[in-house]
Amino acid sequence: MKAKRLTALALAGVMALSMAGCGNSNSGGNTASNSSTASDSTASSNSTAADNSTATDNSTPSSSTAEKLVVWTLADDLKQFAERYTEQTGVDIEINVIAPADYSTKLTSALGAKSSEVDIIVGEPQMLGNFFEAGFFADLSALDAEAKEQIVEYVYEAGKDDSGVLRALSYQVTPGAIIYRRDLAKEIFGTDDPDEMSKKYKDFDTILQTAEEVKAAGYRIFSDSGNLRWYANAGSAWVVDGVLQVSDAKLGYMDAAVKLYQDELVAFAPEWSAAWYASMAGELPLDAGWSDLAELEGAEMTQVFSYSLPSWGALIVRDNANDNKGNFGVCSGPCSYFGGGTFIGVNTYSGHQETAADFVRFCTLNEDTAQWWLETSNGDVVSNKAVLNANQDYENPSFGNQKTYEFYLKEANNIDYSVVTKYDDSIGNFWGASIEAIQKGEMTKEEAIEDFYMQVETTFPEITVNR
């Protein structure tokens, strides 16, 4: 195996961008809930998304010009929400976008000193547990009844602390899917039907069989074996009642990731690499680590058949597909999952609690806002169930005219948030490192698992590890 392929490998099990719970969306094969799309949302003016805007409430934010809110956030989205809120209320809002690498440190430093300089704070799911435990996010129980009724369940659950107190909400859902090439599906399998394609990804053993068929046709099932990491929680949580769980499903995930790599069933194009982006538009060389196609003239070429990504990843595929735009479909994998998402809350030490909570409500619980964001964002999947239902008949031209919002609502409703724990990121990274060691031939499976156990024991002495 070429050295370049070793250096290009993304950790097969790394839990990047907040891996989360698997539900049983594909427990026997394929139902309607397992078969639709990703999201494009040119829905703004020429689709049912715009036509269905009647599914809104008429509530308006509280009006106040006496206060100014300061927001610390990880992304630019809230700038647009703030502008709209200011237009409707007159409240001035200052948005400070902080780099993700610096955000936790900056927030912990400021709020650890009980600073009131910021009113609105955010967090991604993997951050929330520590922030809640530290007491940074104020009690939003006044919004609980509305949130429970209006918001997709896993988002509502993710925003509560260990005592069940609501402290954050998100305006978006980020359920995942298998994004596949319709044209290649017809060539290889004779059909591009998403129900039939879901059968090809129903479990790890089936994925390996599918990978062999795809390779026999001259293509590769995934960009790299790291696509499987989203399903690491299939079967059970990593920790249950303080005990580490290495289930048969997790071992199956390990075996599949190793086989995909060692049998060259993937394209060795890790996420975020130049090869990964290029693969969405067409051919790429079967040699990782390249930056210029001209350097690889005469190299063996292939195409990537599918990607496993959250809903935001579908937008990346869409925007890099070039002539392949419209040539993709979306189906379910071994389980439903989510990755990432921006959760909004109020700084416990803010002097503007009421107005800050009103801004959170405006961003997350106002149906007019949700419909506006669904259209304005050009593809974000909102967390408001009524708005998703109102737009469920929208046919997405970037994904074979599948009904994207219907699909993601069903996938989001299938997510089992009970398998998500505060240990997932770290333990997932340990498991991924063990998988990579086996892939590279640095350890046997037994040695890698033993190393994994030691990493967990050393890092989390409160977890019981039963070998």
Distance between CA atoms of residues 259 and 282, nearest Å? 25
Instruction: Tell me the pLDDT band of 209, cut-offs 50, 70 and 90.
Output: very high
Q: What are phi and psi of 119, to 5 degrees?
A: -110, -45
Nearest to 247 by CA among 259, 233, 261: 233
Total residues belonging to the chain: 467
Per the structure, the complete domain to which residue 296 belongs is given by: 3-40+182-335+422-459
Ramachandran angles phi, psi of 313, nearest 5°: -70, -30
Backbone torsions φ then ψ of 115, nearest 5 degrees:
-70, 140
Same domain, 110 and 193: no
Q: Residues 285, 328: one domain?
A: yes
Do the beta carbons of residue 244 and residue 426 sit within 8 Å? no
Mean pLDDT of 358-382: 96
> Which CATH number is 427's domain given?
3.40.190
Residue 20 included in any domain: yes
pLDDT in tens, 242-295: 999 999 999 999 999 999 999 999 999 999 999 999 999 999 988 655 555 555
Residue holding tokens 């156990």? 453
Least reliable range by pLDDT among 174-188, 204-218, 281-295, 342-356:
281-295
Select from 300, 310, 331 the least CA-distant residue to 403. 331
Confidence of residue 216 (pLDDT cuts 50, 70, 90): very high
Task: Please tell me which residue, 15 or 305, carries the higher pLDDT value.
Answer: 305
Q: What is the pLDDT of the chain when averaged over all its residues?
A: 87
In 183-261, DSSP assigns E strands to 239-240, 243-244
The domain spanning residue 92 has which CATH number?
A: 3.40.190.10
DSSP state of 236: S
- Residue-level pLDDT at 16: 39
For the cut 70, the answer to whether the pLDDT of residue 34 exceeds it is no
CA distance linking residue 395 with residue 403, whole number of Å: 5
pLDDT in tens, 388-410: 999 999 999 999 999 989 999 99
The Cα 108–Cα 145 span in angstroms is 29
Cα three-residue angle 330-344-115, rounded to 5 degrees: 150
pLDDT, tens digit, 9 for 90 and up, residues 147-191: 999 999 999 999 999 999 999 999 999 999 999 999 999 999 999
Compute the distance between CA of residue 242 and CA of residue 9 in angstroms, rounded to an integer. 32
Q: Are residues 430 and 319 in the same domain?
A: yes
Say if 400 falls within a structural domain. Answer: no
Q: Which residue has the higher pLDDT, 44 or 316?
A: 316
Is 337 a residue whose pLDDT tops 50?
Answer: yes
pLDDT at 378: 86
List, in order, residues 6 or more apart from 265 with CB less than 8 Å away: 208, 211, 212, 214, 215, 220, 221, 222, 259
Over residues 53-64, the pLDDT tens digits come to 333 444 556 554
Residues 143 and 192 in one domain: no
The pLDDT value recorded for residue 59 is 53
Mean pLDDT confidence for 136-149: 98
Q: Provide the percentage of residues in the chain whose pLDDT is more than 70.
A: 84
* Domains contained in the chain, number: 2
Contacts of 420 (CB under 8 A, 6+ apart): 20, 21, 125, 158, 233, 237
Q: Other C-beta atoms within 10 Å of 67: how many?
A: 16
Instruction: Give residue 37's pLDDT.
Output: 29
Scanning 9-114, the segments in alpha helix (DSSP H) are: 43-46, 48-51, 77-89, 100-112
Which H helix or E strand runs over 179? strand 176-181
Structure tokens at 278: 């290029």
Shared-domain flag, residues 330 and 345 = no
Statement: residue 324 has pLDDT above 60: yes
Q: What is the pLDDT of residue 15?
A: 38
Q: What is the mean pLDDT of residues 321-328?
A: 95
Q: Where are the beta strands (DSSP E) in 191-336?
A: 239-240, 243-244, 284-285, 301-302, 306-310, 328-331
Q: How much is the pLDDT for 29?
A: 34
Residue 19, pLDDT above cutoff 60: no
- Domain assignment present for residue 240? The answer is yes
Q: Is the dihedral of CA 150, 153, 156, 162 positive or negative?
A: positive
- Tell me: do 226 and 159 sit in the same domain: no
Please indicate, yes or no, whether residues 435 and 313 belong to a single structural domain of this protein: yes
313 pLDDT band, cuts 50/70/90, is very high
- Residue type for 21, please? G
Cβ within 8 Å of residue 27, ≥6 positions away: none
d(CA 254, CA 204): 9
Q: Does residue 375 lie within any of the structural domains?
A: no
Instruction: Write down the pLDDT at residue 236.
Output: 85
The pLDDT value recorded for residue 45 is 32
Strand, coil or helix: what is 166? strand
Among 138, 402, 176, residue whose Cα is nearest residue 306:
176
Query: Which pLDDT value is given to residue 60?
Result: 59
Does residue 243 share a domain with residue 125? Answer: no
Q: Are residues 222 and 328 in the same domain?
A: yes
The per-residue pLDDT for range 226-255, each reduced to its tens digit, is 999 999 887 789 999 999 999 999 999 999
- Confidence class of residue 49 from pLDDT cuts 50, 70 and 90? very low
Cβ neighbour number for residue 418 with a 10 Å cutoff: 13
Q: pLDDT at position 10, please? A: 38
Residue 241 backbone phi and psi in degrees, to 5: 50, 40
Residue with tokens 């290029």: 278
